[in-house]
């Protein structure tokens, strides 16, 4: 019975985990070529809203069995896409960056699925476009590129193909008006009115906190991702990544907003969005700096001489080797100290000095062969009490004491109490015979009959 319960719990856990998809926040991927006027970028915005009705109720009746999807895509020819590009460019300008988006494509996928205890609504909007005007200055030695455009955020409505995509409440009002009516005018409406297209956290996280890597061997394999030919093989590629919890970025947690709605039953609305992620690549070796409050990177074709790094922190290779040398010196000192301590310890025989022992034979020939058995004992008698065998201790013996000799009888007792009955009779009697003899007053026998006869004779 207990095994069946355990298996049931495990199966239920697998079902819950399997039915819960990954929820990501804003994900950025951009590849900047300072030698070109434009470079591609991509942003992926995701969020999941859970509508929970643990006690059933009218909201459960409305959503029961519902499942639908709203899927589509549009390019710059769509008025809604043009409006979104304008919002993004205004936000970039407000952040102090000079870069601009010159082309944009939008794809979206919204999926609702009702279950017995909750309903989930997954929102996903992907924008892909072209970034331009990111080069600040350029000369033969270095190119300064603008990296302050990362906060691609829209705070107004984004309507494409008649669907408003930026605020989750609007798609519910369009597709499930009866269910959305439960949330209008409540705290749940505020939770559902948080904009989906939001990458402010990617901009707020300083690039100095991102992981920094560079490939000094060339990008002939990745040239196609930059739209370049194999002729650029041998150039350095720098990359900055963010999204994991670390000492630099801090602890990354998912953003959860929750509200309760009290109608005919208690309903809970929860919005879940994980921490943002970013991948930023640039051709050349990038050294970060700040210009007029905007983060920039100075890009050179090759890294500085003797520079090597594997992650953020600008650890030169000599520092890494120095740390390894310090660890080696510490290890050597530890082993030297341990070896000296071992030499100072007393080693060898830890008992009786063998020079004080002498051997002797304990067996002789038996039958037709000679056995060679022997023991060792102290050559002198000193300290014998500390080394003798326990079997030599008489206190450990369990032998019974020898029998005591019997006491020697006295002469009167040995005579068997002989009594002269009379001088004429000339006979003696044994008091053991009791009534068979006569005793006089001189009889020492203690028998009652002898005593009586002795009284009568007297």
Are 106 and 93 in contact by the 8 Å Cβ rule? The answer is no
- Say if residue 357's pLDDT is above 80: no
Q: What is the pLDDT of residue 64?
A: 94
Mean pLDDT of 42-47: 96
* Res. 236 pLDDT band, cuts 50 70 90: confident
Residue 180 belongs to a domain: yes
Q: How many domains does the chain have?
A: 2
* Res. 18 pLDDT band, cuts 50 70 90: very low
Residue 259 belongs to a domain: yes
Residue 287 belongs to a domain: no
* Res. 237 pLDDT band, cuts 50 70 90: confident
Are 127 and 75 in contact by the 8 Å Cβ rule? The answer is no
Mean pLDDT of 357-370: 59
Residue 238 belongs to a domain: no
- Say if residue 132's pLDDT is above 90: yes
Least confident of 217-221, 264-268, 310-314: 310-314
State which of 221-225, 243-247, 251-255 shows the largest mean pLDDT.
251-255
Do residues 271 and 420 share a domain?
Answer: no
Among residues 253, 278, 303, which one ends one of the domains? 278
Residue 404 belongs to a domain: no
Residue 376 belongs to a domain: no
- Closest of 39, 195, 25 to residue 103, by C-alpha: 39
Largest pairwise CA distance in the chain: 174
Q: How many residues are listed for the chain in this entry?
A: 458
Angstrom CA distances, 133 to 101, 154, 444, stand at 9, 21, 152
Residues 6+ apart with CB under 8 A from 56: 265
- Say if residue 307's pLDDT is above 90: no
Q: Which two tokens stand for residue 247?
A: 């000492």
Q: What is the pLDDT of residue 289?
A: 94
Least confident of 10-14, 104-108, 290-294, 434-438: 10-14
Q: Which two tokens stand for residue 215?
A: 């490939």
333-342 pLDDT, tens digit per residue, is 888 877 777 7
Percent of the chain with pLDDT over 70: 60
Are 62 and 179 in contact by the 8 Å Cβ rule? The answer is yes
Residues 6+ apart with CB under 8 A from 71: 108, 109, 110
Where is pLDDT greater, at 108 or 216? 108
Residue 188 belongs to a domain: yes
Least confident of 112-121, 230-239, 260-269, 370-379: 370-379
Q: Which two tokens stand for residue 259?
A: 């509200």
170-184 pLDDT, tens digit per residue, is 999 999 999 999 999
Burial label for 456, CB within 10 Å (0-12, 13-18, 19+), is: exposed
Are 179 and 148 in contact by the 8 Å Cβ rule? The answer is no
Residue 119 belongs to a domain: yes
Angle, vertex CA 435, rays to CA 434 and CA 441, nearest 5: 70
* Res. 356 pLDDT band, cuts 50 70 90: confident
Are 297 and 288 in contact by the 8 Å Cβ rule? The answer is yes
Dihedral of alpha carbons 440, 444, 446, 447, sign: negative
Specify the DSSP class assigned to residue 263.
Answer: S
**255: domain range?**
22-141+149-210+244-278
Among residues 278, 303, 335, which one ends one of the domains? 278
The full DSSP string for 36-58 is SSEEEEEEEEEEEEEEE-TT--H
Q: What is the pLDDT of residue 140?
A: 82
181-205 pLDDT, tens digit per residue, is 999 999 999 999 999 999 999 999 9
Separation CA 351–CA 346 (nearest Å): 12
* Res. 167 pLDDT band, cuts 50 70 90: very high
* Res. 330 pLDDT band, cuts 50 70 90: confident
What 3-state class would DSSP assign to 210?
Answer: coil
Residues 6+ apart with CB under 8 A from 441: 454, 457, 458
Where is pLDDT greater, at 353 or 276? 276
- Say if residue 304's pLDDT is above 90: no
Mean pLDDT of 14-22: 37
Q: What is the pLDDT of residue 7?
A: 43
What is the pTM assigned to this prediction?
A: 0.61
Among residues 224, 257, 278, which one ends one of the domains? 278
- Say if residue 39's pLDDT is above 70: yes
Q: What is the pLDDT of residue 322?
A: 74
366-424 pLDDT, tens digit per residue, is 555 555 666 666 666 555 555 555 555 544 444 555 555 554 544 444 344 445 444 44
């Amino acid at each position: 019975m207990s095994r069946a319960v355990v298996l049931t719990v495990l199966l239920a856990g697998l079902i819950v985990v399997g039915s819960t998809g990954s929820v990501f926040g804003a994900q950025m991927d951009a590849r900047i070529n300072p030698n070109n006027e434009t470079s591609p970028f991509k942003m992926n915005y995701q969020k999941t809203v859970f509508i929970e009705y643990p006690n059933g109720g009218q909201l459960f009746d409305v959503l029961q069995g519902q499942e639908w999807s709203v899927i589509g895509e549009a390019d710059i020819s769509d008025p809604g896409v043009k409006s979104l590009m304008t919002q993004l460019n205004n936000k970039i300008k407000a952040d102090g960056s000079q870069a601009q988006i010159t082309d944009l494509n939008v794809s979206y996928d919204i999926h609702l699925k009702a279950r017995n205890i909750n309903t989930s609504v997954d929102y996903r909007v992907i924008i892909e476009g072209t970034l331009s005007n990111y080069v600040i200055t350029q000369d033969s030695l270095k190119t300064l590129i603008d990296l302050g455009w990362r906060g691609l955020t829209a705070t107004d409505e984004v309507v494409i193909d008649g669907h408003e995509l930026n605020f989750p409440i609007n798609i519910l009002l369009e597709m499930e008006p009866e269910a959305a009516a439960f949330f209008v005018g409540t705290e749940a409406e505020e939770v559902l009115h948080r904009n989906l297209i939001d990458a402010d956290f990617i901009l707020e996280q300083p690039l100095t906190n991102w992981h920094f890597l560079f490939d000094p061997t060339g990008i002939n394999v990745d040239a196609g991702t930059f739209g370049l030919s194999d002729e650029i093989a041998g150039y350095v590629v720098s990359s900055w990544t963010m999204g994991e919890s670390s000492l630099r970025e801090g602890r990354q947690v998912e953003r959860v907003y929750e509200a309760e709605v009290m109608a005919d039953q208690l309903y809970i609305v929860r919005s879940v969005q994980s921490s943002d992620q970013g991948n930023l690549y640039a051709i050349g070796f990038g050294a970060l700096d700040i210009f007029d409050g905007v983060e920039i990177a100075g890009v050179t074709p090759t890294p500085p001489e003797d520079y090597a790094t594997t992650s953020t922190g600008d650890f030169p290779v000599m520092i890494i080797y120095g740390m390894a040398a310090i660890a080696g010196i510490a290890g050597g000192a530890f082993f030297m100290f341990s070896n000296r301590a071992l030499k100072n310890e007393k080693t060898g025989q830890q008992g009786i000095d063998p020079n004080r022992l002498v051997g002797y034979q304990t067996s002789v020939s038996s039958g037709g062969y000679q056995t060679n058995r022997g023991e060792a004992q102290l050559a002198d008698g000193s300290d014998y009490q500390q080394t003798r065998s326990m079997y030599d201790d008489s206190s450990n013996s369990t032998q019974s004491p020898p029998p005591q000799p019997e006491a020697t009888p006295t002469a009167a007792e040995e005579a068997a109490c002989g009594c002269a009955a009379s001088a004429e009779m000339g006979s003696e009697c044994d008091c053991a015979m009791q009534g068979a003899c006569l005793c006089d007053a001189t009889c020492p026998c203690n028998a009652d009959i002898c005593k009586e006869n002795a009284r009568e004779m007297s």
